[in-house]
A and B are shown apart, each in its own frame.
Chain A
Amino acid sequence: MLHYLGRRASYSVISILGLLTLVFFLTRLTGDPSALYLPLDSTPEARAAFAHLHGLDQPIYIQFWNYLADLLRLDFGESMRQHRSAMAVALEAFPQTLKLAFVAMLLSLSLAIVVGALAAARPRGLFDRIATVVSLAGASAPDFWVAIVAILVFAVGMGVLPTSGTGGWEFWVMPIFVLMLRPFGLLVQVVRGTMLSSLASPYIKTARAKGLPRRAVVFGHALRNSLLPVITVAGDLATGLVNGAVIVESVFGWPGIGKLMIDSIIQRDFAVVQSTILVTATAIFILNILIDLLYAVLDPRVRY
């Protein structure tokens, strides 16, 4: 197992370096950033001065070499927008998103397992139908729509929650709710699907024939064996949340890494784009390793 971990870790480091190289070259294909940092009526000389100041007028291989050299000294570059260390900007924003994503995933996963299992226990029954419709409606609704409507209803209309911003628990309610919708919807369906397959297996028939109560059959036996795909999808959703909490961060004003990444990409703030991708990629790679370990824990037949 340790051998496996060591190998995975080294492959991951190589992959992250590959990712950074890819990002470095590809982002510079998207145009000249000076247009975005200088007023539109700047002179060509001013733009040339800007390019020179930030090393953008050098050939791209020189720029890459400088970038690698800086990386070795743990210098991740400076944000052209904020005039401070790009990695500091990224590390400041990351915990905000992590907090939201963690709580949302935890809630979605636990609720989805319960609801999905109950739905699978009596397929096409009333609970199943309602759970399906509700979970799918949430999963396919545009998240900005839900966010803004929720704010209009609960904050403006009823005044029971603040519109936006960070703070005590009341500032978390709507953002978490909106973030949970798609993961919850998808996970309910996945859990339900795999549970249906498990519940149809012969060993379940045996368990039932033995007279075990329904709860033990469903949660004790069938659920544990259908968790592998559920964990995979949940992991994918979690990584998606880190990158994709953009809407929630935009609408509710949480200074998270999703919005930072989008803004930096649009603004061609290369150093920050690279730093945020480095931070999120590291998190994603670590998460994937943990999930693979979890497979082995959950299913003893899985060997590496």
Chain B
Amino acid sequence: MSAISSSVQAASAARPGRVRVLLNYLKRDRLALAAAIFLALLVLAALLGPWLMGDAATKLGLRHRNLAPFDLDAGWLYVLGADTLGRPILPRLVVGASNTLGIAAAAVCTSMLAGGLLGLVAGYTESWYSHVIQRGADIIMSFPSLLLAMIVLYTLGHSVTNLVIVLAITRMPVYLRTARAEVLELRERMFVSAARSMGASSARIVLRHIAPLVVPTLITISAIDFATVILAESALSFLGLGIQPPEFTWGAMVANGRGYLSTAWWIAFWPGLAIMLTTLSLNILSSWARTAADPQQRWRLQKLKKAAR
């Protein structure tokens, strides 16, 4: 008896803090670690980039138009080549990170939150507002995003906020419908009827019990949605409805390079690669987070420890 209690005491005394635990999990999964480092660098670039490289990214260099990459004659800033106005691509990637990540994060978070909440409501209740929410989602799905962008920009003007609103609205239905689908299945489970019989209110059941089980799938979707939003902004930029020059995002850089794929491939390639790597990192990290958060799968990230004797 005393041996067991003392080992329990020893174990609880030696248990490391939450952050340390997470960092240990991270170290166990090399790829997730690389992804986390990449994202941290990206955030750093987003925060410091405009201050460090702002000038280099916007100065015109008409004589360096479409300069090919890997040619250090023009300076190390031009190592990735130059775009159609002769501006070096590397500083533009660094500076563009802040606009890109900002817009995409804002749009994805907004749509995930709004869509998720509405989906939870729509799935759990059977009342009339559940139907209204669903039909509203159907209407949004049927409304072409280009038309929405055009209407918003025509009536409310060009601004980053309006752009985020447009992107968030068009992405909302998928979160709404996915959340609803999961809730439809979960609300029939035994733990829900158990909670109900113990007198828990609907709100508590939904938020405290059901939502945590819905969130992982939403996060999986949001990681790829990040890329979808960036590319949607790129398509809008191609039509001139995205972010307005001289501001730019990676998506806008990709759109600018569209006509040059066979002649100056680097203009669209590097920002495209940046988008790809960001998506990959987000996805790997979210999948790692999913494993770490799920008590039934956490063992994959834990080290085998000898039990105290």
Q: A–B direct touch, CB within 8 Å, in complex?
A: yes
Q: Give A residues with C-beta under 8 Å from B.
A: 11-12, 14-16, 18-19, 22-23, 26-27, 29-31, 123-124, 129, 132-133, 136-137, 139-145, 148-149, 152, 182, 185-186, 189-190, 192-194, 196-197, 200-201, 228-229, 231-233, 235-236, 239, 243, 246-247, 261-262, 265-266, 273, 277, 280-281, 284-285, 288, 295, 299, 301-303
> How many Å from the CB of A201 to the closest CB on chain B?
7
Residues of A within 8 Å of B181, CB to CB, are: 228-229, 231-232, 295
CA distance A18 to B142 in the complex (A): 11
Which of A15, A136, A229, A233 meets B139, CB within 8 Å?
A: A15
Whether A243 and B231, one on each chain, are in contact in the complex, defined by CB atoms closer than 8 angstroms, is: no
Q: List 18 A-B contacts (CB under 8 A).
A: A11-B131, A12-B138, A15-B139, A29-B151, A136-B280, A136-B283, A152-B261, A182-B228, A186-B221, A189-B283, A228-B184, A229-B178, A236-B177, A243-B144, A247-B235, A261-B147, A265-B147, A266-B239
Interface residues of B in 247-273 (CB under 8 A from A): 254, 258, 261-262, 268, 272
B71 close to chain A: CB less than 8 A: no
Task: Closest A residue to B230 by CB, please name it.
Answer: A140
Q: Give B residues with C-beta under 8 Å from A.
A: 29, 31, 131, 135, 138-139, 141-147, 150-151, 154-155, 173-174, 177-178, 180-182, 184-185, 188-189, 216-217, 220-221, 223-224, 227-228, 230-231, 234-235, 239, 254, 258, 261-262, 268, 272, 275-276, 278-280, 283-284, 287, 290-291, 294, 296-297, 300
Whether A239 and B283, one on each chain, are in contact in the complex, defined by CB atoms closer than 8 angstroms, is: no
Task: Closest A residue to B271 by CB, please name it.
Answer: A142
The DSSP consensus for interface residues of chain A is helix
A-B residue pair count with CB separations less than 8 angstroms: 176
Residues of A within 8 Å of B276, CB to CB, are: 136-137, 140-141
User: Which of A140, A185, A266 lies at the interface centre, i.e. has the most chain B CB atoms within 10 A of its CB?
Assistant: A140
Task: Closest A residue to B123 by CB, please name it.
Answer: A302
> How many Å from the CB of A103 to the closest CB on chain B?
21
Task: Closest B residue to A281 by CB, please name it.
Answer: B142
A22-B139, A142-B275, A190-B217 provided; 16 other pairs, C-beta below 8 A? A31-B154, A132-B284, A132-B287, A140-B231, A145-B254, A145-B261, A185-B224, A189-B287, A192-B287, A193-B216, A233-B178, A235-B177, A265-B146, A277-B144, A281-B139, A288-B177
Please give me the 3 A-B residue pairs with the lowest Cβ-Cβ distance, nearest first. Answer: A140-B227, A281-B142, A140-B279
Task: Closest A residue to B228 by CB, please name it.
Answer: A182
Known A140-B280, A145-B272, A288-B138; contact A190-B221, beta-carbon cutoff 8 A: yes
Residues of A within 8 Å of B261, CB to CB, are: 145, 148-149, 152
Residues of B within 8 Å of A133, CB to CB, are: 280
CA distance A280 to B221 in the complex (A): 24
Task: Closest A residue to B297 by CB, please name it.
Answer: A200
Task: Closest A residue to B257 by CB, please name it.
Answer: A145
Whether A23 and B224, one on each chain, are in contact in the complex, defined by CB atoms closer than 8 angstroms, is: no
Whether B217 and A26, one on each chain, are in contact in the complex, defined by CB atoms closer than 8 angstroms, is: no
CA distance A29 to B188 in the complex (A): 46
Residues of B within 8 Å of A246, CB to CB, are: 235
Residues of B within 8 Å of A26, CB to CB, are: 147, 151
CA distance A197 to B219 in the complex (A): 14
Which of A29, A196, A285 meets B142, CB within 8 Å?
A: A285
Whether B279 and A27, one on each chain, are in contact in the complex, defined by CB atoms closer than 8 angstroms, is: no
